[in-house]
A and B are shown apart, each in its own frame.
Chain A
């Protein structure tokens, strides 16, 4: 692996991991918000 290859792989991995964190953070955050709202109504 050349330094450029490591950088290329690092960028791609970072993008994919960030995308996963972004999606699941929002999905679980929304789920928590919904359950908090439900608790408050009760």
Chain B
């Protein structure tokens, strides 16, 4: 067993599947096409540049921070950052790596449950006959219970939410090797098979009204206008997609890597997990939703649908398409099962940093940690579900899934590359490595990645942060709900600040806290 501390990964394949599963999520099939389509083929240029200069380096950095921290029995970033930089502030900076995934998980599980609900609806043909986007939009709102009333609630959506939540808790409760790893080992290959079947089905669809699949692929791969590359929007969208798809800046990679022993490879394994994610996103993700939508609706309408939001394509347009496709009910069900599996392999990672923080730093047993996390997150999920009408979910997503993620990435790259030092970092990264990373990445990690990510935070700060903080343009009715979202996030942050403060005062492993990163060599 690959066992650095406590529970651990039973096999290397299981670890890579869990890491890849953590990265492969709803973003690969829903967010990616939605981001790429409005820009046409030009999107893939900044996408690959940021993948190479920021994404892949970050994967290696996070695996390294995780394994390094795991050597000191830290499974979450407060302790990991403390071991990289002995300054008293470092452990508090690490709180983001627990806070962000937990808060994202609070709404992600609900979204994941929609896929399960829609798989059921498709299999039973419940929305069959609704053959326009507008009608499917109404089906979607009805499914979520969205109306003019105070609460957005529907018994059906809530039922599937409960199933999804219970499934996630069950997986957490079984731990790493008996829970997360087993699910990843079975779900990831299944997901790859389902994705391949759907991609082949879409590629082999016959022309409709003169439009072919080639026209759909052109939306991703044909560059008509190079000048869009001069706009900042496309670079921000590409960078955001890379972070989101690789699941970097969320603290989850760190936690999974913390179970590795000091001399277990991370360079090849990290690259394998990243490559699997890119296969799913670029090859499968780009071949299903957009080409099918272009074939059935045409280019202009597809771009409009994609720009309407992440869910328009997957939950409105594709169900319409499935109804017109031979064998559509079968392939539609496969599509939503695929989304559900992609969501599950990601969501089961999201509460792991918090669980591990409670166990490693606050000395709770695994059973106690699962119980407390289960109860707390269940209650936090209720406002997200009930007040969806009022933008509560979007507010959490902005601060945690967008801004928080970029901020945390900037912090960790500066900490690793500049404070801990790239020379030590490079050496640490190559302990037991199966592959020598090309030397050019040393310079990329030292200069390009931190400058890019810090630059992104600065740009964000000047571009739109003050408007978001002050809720500029938000109507008065929605403001109390956005404040509720902020109170939830701040409440969780306050708990984690207390937790770090308490752990560093009471846990025996911190009583020798004078230890610095230089003394690390014998964990």
Which residues of chain A have a CB within 8 Å of any CB of chain B? 1-2, 5-6, 8-9, 12-13, 16-17, 19-20, 23-24, 26-28, 30-31
Contacts and interface: CB of A to CB of B under 8 A. Distances in A.
Contacts of A26: 268, 434-435
Nearest to B222: A5
Q: What is the predominant secondary structure among interface residues of chain A facing chain B?
A: helix
B278 A16 contact: yes
Interface stretch (B269-277, B299-307, B311-319): B269-277
A12 B214 CA distance: 16
Interface string B272-300: 10011011001100000000000000000
A27 B272 contact: yes
23 contacts: A1-B218, A2-B218, A5-B41, A5-B223, A8-B221, A9-B217, A9-B220, A16-B283, A17-B279, A19-B271, A19-B275, A20-B272, A20-B275, A20-B279, A23-B271, A23-B275, A26-B268, A27-B12, A27-B268, A27-B269, A27-B272, A28-B13, A31-B12
A1 B16 contact: no
Interface residues of B, number: 26
Interface of B: 12-13, 16, 41, 44, 48, 214-215, 217-218, 220-223, 268-269, 271-272, 275-276, 278-279, 282-283, 434-435
Contacts of B217: 1, 5, 9
A20 B284 CA distance: 14
Please list the 4 inter-chain residue pairs (A to B) with the smallest Cβ-Cβ separation, ordered nearest first.
Answer: A23-B272, A5-B222, A9-B221, A19-B275
Nearest to A7: B221
B218 A12 contact: no
A7 to B, nearest CB: 10
Contacts of B13: 27-28, 31
Nearest to B272: A23
A23 B12 contact: no
Contacts of B268: 23, 26-27
A27 B276 CA distance: 13
Nearest to A8: B221
Nearest to B219: A1
Given A26-B434, A31-B12, A12 B282 contact: yes
Given A5-B218, A9-B220, A26-B434, 19 more contacts: A1-B214, A1-B218, A2-B218, A2-B222, A5-B41, A5-B221, A5-B223, A9-B217, A9-B221, A12-B44, A16-B275, A16-B279, A16-B282, A20-B272, A20-B275, A26-B268, A27-B269, A30-B434, A31-B12
A12 B435 contact: no
